[in-house]
Amino acid sequence: MFEDLLAIREAALAELSRIETSDELTELSTSVLGRGGKLTAILRTMGKLSAEERAELGKRANAVKQELTEMFEERKAKLSEIAEQKRIEREAVDVTLPGVRRAVSAGALNPLTLVYREIRDALIGLGFTTFEGPEVEYDEYNFTLLNLPPNHPARDMQDTFYVNDKVLLRTHTSPCEARALKTLDLPFRLVIPGRCFRVDEPDASHSPVFMQMEGLVVDRNVSLADLKGTIDSFVKAVFGENVESRLRPSYFPFTEPSAEVDISCTICGGKGCSSCKGTGWMEIMGCGITNPHEIENCGHSSDEWRAFAWGVGVDRVACLKYGISDIRLIYEGDGRFLSQFK
Ligand code: DAH
């Protein structure tokens, strides 16, 4: 009996020294000290013993129980201390480490937006306000009111996407001239940005979608000199003070006289190079004194009101300003292209 007690004690201590987790400890503790445990089993057999033996065994068993309980407790404290230590190590934050770099890159404005804002802001400085019209437009506004009646040969100058007989995708921002003339009080000075559409096979210099900015100034007494001065001021705002502009006679049904605007070559400065085909000049837009027919078509007296107008291809200006060799890049939205305009 006493040997059994000693053996239980020895075995428990030996096992205790191998234990590594609190679960194992609980298991050991129950198997020795629990109700169905080994020590309890010995005490249950005490009935068979003599009174002295019983007293002795009881004393020793209690001593063993006491000893083991204490050692288990001690071990338990030690194990939870180790676990806590490990937790602290695991959760430790080294505040001296460099921060984690997150690959969040900010976007950049499309060159069209940059050029648009430059032209617009230069014109706002001259008393202009902005105006806009729809991209899906009536044939009447896109052509007829602008002095291009049905069957007018100049309609062929623009390859049009028709929605039906009367409705189309506007081929230029000029229909907004008619909308402004019909709806706003005169006089006014407008800058009119917008997306335009023409049936065009995309290539380096053509896109079926492109952006124009129309200018329209209506007043009682405006002249070609006002037109030239206005255009020159925004050309210089976009390209710099040393870039010159010139007017070259041309034809548009909605202006009379009409002109093309050239700027001195942005590559060679006007000496002549391959970009300007040796001329020293580059064409950027059309303009003119608004045809009296347009003013009359929109319900105003052409005796009382004069106007001048232009339509500039924003894509073309952006390509010239930033040296973009392919207009399609502007519309593809490739981040590697756009990030160059930050
Ligand atoms: N609408 C013309 C085009 O798309 C450009 C233009 C020329 C607009 C002369 C005008 C203008 O207002 O007066 O080719």
Does the residue 106 lie in any domain? no
Kindly give the distance from the C-alpha atom of residue 150 to the centroid of ligand 1, in angstroms, as a whole number: 18
Ligand 1 pocket residue status of 289, Cβ below 6 Å: no
Ligand 1 pocket residue status of 29, Cβ below 6 Å: no
Average pLDDT over residues 170-199: 97
pLDDT score of 35 more than 80: yes
Domain termination site, one of 30, 61, 91 = 91
**Under 8 Å between Cβ of 317 and 213:** no
Q: How confident is the model at residue 48 (pLDDT cuts 50, 70, 90)?
A: confident
Average pLDDT over residues 229-252: 96
pLDDT of residue 34: 84
Does the residue 117 lie in any domain? yes
Kindly give the distance from the C-alpha atom of residue 201 to the centroid of ligand 1, in angstroms, as a whole number: 21
Q: How confident is the model at residue 78 (pLDDT cuts 50, 70, 90)?
A: confident
Same structural domain for residues 154 and 250? yes
Q: How confident is the model at residue 134 (pLDDT cuts 50, 70, 90)?
A: very high
Does the residue 98 lie in any domain? no
Average pLDDT over residues 267-291: 94
Q: How confident is the model at residue 246 (pLDDT cuts 50, 70, 90)?
A: very high
Does the residue 97 lie in any domain? no
Nearest-atom index, ligand 1, CA of 196? 4
pLDDT of residue 220: 96
Q: What is the DSSP string of 263-275?
A: EE-TTTTTS--TT
Same structural domain for residues 31 and 161? no
Average pLDDT over residues 41-67: 81
pLDDT score of 183 more than 80: yes
In the chain the beta strands, taken as DSSP E runs, fall at: 129-130, 136-138, 167-169, 188-197, 209-219, 245-252, 255-264, 281-290, 306-313
Q: For the segment 187-235, what is each residue's pLDDT rounded down to a tens digit? A: 999 999 999 999 999 999 899 999 999 999 999 999 999 999 999 999 9
Q: Which of 10, 17, 77 is nearest to 38 (CA)?
A: 10
Same structural domain for residues 75 and 123? no
Tell me which residue has tokens 């019983």: 54
pLDDT of residue 60: 82
Q: What is the DSSP string of 11-75?
A: HHHHHHHH--SHHHHHHHHHHHHSTTSHHHHHHHGGGGS-HHHHHHHHHHHHHHHHHHHHHHHHH
Ligand 1 pocket residue status of 311, Cβ below 6 Å: yes
Kindly give the distance from the C-alpha atom of residue 311 to the centroid of ligand 1, in angstroms, as a whole number: 4
User: C-alpha angle with apex 206: 170 to 162, nearest 5 degrees?
Assistant: 30
**Under 8 Å between Cβ of 213 and 119:** yes
Ligand 1, atom 10, lies closest to the CA of 310
- Interatomic CA distance for residues 22 and 237, integer angstroms: 79
Nearest-atom index, ligand 1, CA of 313? 4
Ligand 1, atom 5, lies closest to the CA of 311
Kindly give the distance from the C-alpha atom of residue 262 to the centroid of ligand 1, in angstroms, as a whole number: 14
Ligand 1 pocket residue status of 112, Cβ below 6 Å: no
For the sheet containing 255-264, what is the strand order?
Answer: 129-130, 188-197, 209-219, 306-313, 281-290, 255-264, 245-252
Ligand 1, atom 12, lies closest to the CA of 310
Q: What SS3 class is residue 145?
A: helix
Kindly give the distance from the C-alpha atom of residue 173 to the centroid of ligand 1, in angstroms, as a whole number: 8
Q: Which of 252, 255, 315 has most ligand 1 atoms within 8 Å of its beta carbon, as the pocket-test mutant?
A: 252
Same structural domain for residues 285 and 314? yes
Does the residue 103 lie in any domain? no
pLDDT score of 287 more than 90: yes
- Interatomic CA distance for residues 330 and 257, integer angstroms: 33
Task: Please give the tally of structural domains in the chain.
Answer: 2
Same structural domain for residues 166 and 138? yes
Ligand 1, atom 7, lies closest to the CA of 286
Kindly give the distance from the C-alpha atom of residue 253 to the centroid of ligand 1, in angstroms, as a whole number: 9
Same structural domain for residues 136 and 220? yes
Phi, psi of 81 (to 5 degrees): -65, -45
Ligand 1 pocket residue status of 174, Cβ below 6 Å: yes
For 240, which DSSP code? Answer: -
Rg, Å, the chain Cα set: 45
Kindly give the distance from the C-alpha atom of residue 310 to the centroid of ligand 1, in angstroms, as a whole number: 5
Mean pLDDT (the chain, rounded): 91
pLDDT: which is higher, 133 or 335: 133
pLDDT score of 240 more than 90: yes
Ligand 1 pocket residue status of 286, Cβ below 6 Å: yes
Q: What SS3 class is residue 331?
A: helix
Same structural domain for residues 76 and 116? no
Q: Give me the percent of the chain exceeding a pLDDT of 70.
A: 100
Ligand 1 pocket residue status of 252, Cβ below 6 Å: yes
Same structural domain for residues 59 and 123? no
pLDDT: which is higher, 3 or 330: 330
Q: Which of 63-67, 94-98, 139-143, 268-272 has the largest mean confidence?
A: 139-143
Q: Which of 123, 156, 328, 336 is nearest to 237 (CA)?
A: 123
The boundaries of the domain holding residue 7 are 2-91
Nearest-atom index, ligand 1, CA of 312? 5
Q: Which of 146, 155, 156, 174 has most ligand 1 atoms within 8 Å of its beta carbon, as the pocket-test mutant?
A: 174
